[in-house]
Amino acid sequence: MAKKALADACRFVDADHFCRVSGCPRFFAFKVDQRQYQFKANKIVAEGVPNTVIFNYDASSSPTDSVYIVQTWDMHRKTLVPKNKHAHSAIYYYPGFFRTKLIVGNTIVKTHDLQISSDGWLALVEQEPVPIYFKKEDYLKKEGVDIDAYTLKKYNLALFPNPPKIRVFNQGDMGELMNDNFTFETTVKNTFSDGSNACQFVEVLIQCKDDIIVIPLGAKACTGSMRLYAAGEAVDSKLADLSKFGCDLNEWTTLKVLTREKRMTFYVNGVEAYSLTFPNAPTGIVGVQYRFNGVGAVKDAKFSHGDFEVKL
């Protein structure tokens, strides 16, 4: 029984390391031939969310029952699948770019890039297990996207005591646009500053293929609690001056990101707020996400590089 328990433990850890230090049977310290495995993800609908994805896989050659599919960037959120089956389905409720993975033991044997597009502008309330999707006619306005108090009331959403987490997406095919050489411009507003949203924090996320850029905005009095992230470079306001990301979000606020050869400079209302060089390898851009609390509005969003331009 003791040997069986030891062998079972080997299935869930780094087998080589565990067997070296604990002496479990050597046949658990397996090597994986990636050529023996197959993995592919197929969307049920071409555009929009929710969207069911069917993962077709072949892991019948696995020496262990520890076969997993990872659907997102988060390696901790993996699903155990039977090694002798060949299909696994999942629903994606949010758009994004996902490097999905087939894992045997602790080894990634196959990956498949999956993009769930937003089908143009998409607005929703983030919540578990399923978000609340706004109808396009309720938020698409002449100038851009606007989720106001009237819209929330229509969906029986209250601003107090905790305002809803508003998420606005526009993600899809951006051609050959890369994150090491591009310009992004947008204008945002959040007019709700009562209760727990006194700081009016807003985040603008530039979604890349297997990477992310997260830009904070907020009331000038609240810049002491901000975090900027750009493709592997993290900047915390506790250790850096991010005060120029402070602004009056009751008024339209412009944001510009100018990147040349991985050198990224951020401008808020025409003033340089911060500059950095990011360490990660360049990768493609697939779109943008805005995060508001309570209400939010977006207009004049576009990506460009040289003669190439995408107006969202």
Prediction pTM value: 0.88
Q: What is the pLDDT of residue 4?
A: 40
Phi (first) and psi of residue 287, to 5 degrees: 150, -160
Q: Which tens digit of pLDDT belongs to each residue from 220-258?
A: 999 999 999 999 999 999 999 999 999 999 999 999 999
Walk me through the domains of the chain, giving residue ranges and CATH numbers.
Answer: 31-116 (2.60.40), 122-311 (2.60.120.200)
% of the chain residues with pLDDT over 90:
85
| pLDDT score at 231 | 97
> CA gyration radius for the chain?
23
**Cα distance between residue 116 and residue 47, in whole Å:** 7
pLDDT for position 75: 78
Residue closest to 124 by CA, chosen among 285, 312, 291 = 291
Average pLDDT for residues 69-77, to the nearest whole number?
85
Phi, psi of 221 (to 5 degrees): -75, -10
Q: Return the pLDDT at 2.
A: 38
Rounded Cα distance, 145 and 274, in Å:
27
Residue range 164-217, pLDDT digits in tens: 999 999 999 999 999 999 999 999 999 999 999 999 999 999 999 989 999 999
Q: Measured between alpha carbons, how far is 177 from 307 in angstroms, rounded to an integer? A: 12
Instruction: Tell me the three state secondary structure of residue 214.
Output: strand
| φ/ψ of residue 115, rounded to 5 | -115, 120
Starting from the edge strand earliest in sequence, which strands make up the sheet with 78-80, in order?
Answer: 78-80, 67-70, 96-104, 107-116
Confidence of residue 30 (pLDDT cuts 50, 70, 90): low
Average pLDDT (292-308) is 96
Question: Mean pLDDT across the chain, nearest whole number?
Answer: 90
Least confident segment among 2-11, 90-99, 105-114, 117-126: 2-11
Q: Which residue has the tokens 């196959």?
A: 110
Q: Residue 74: its pLDDT value, please?
A: 77
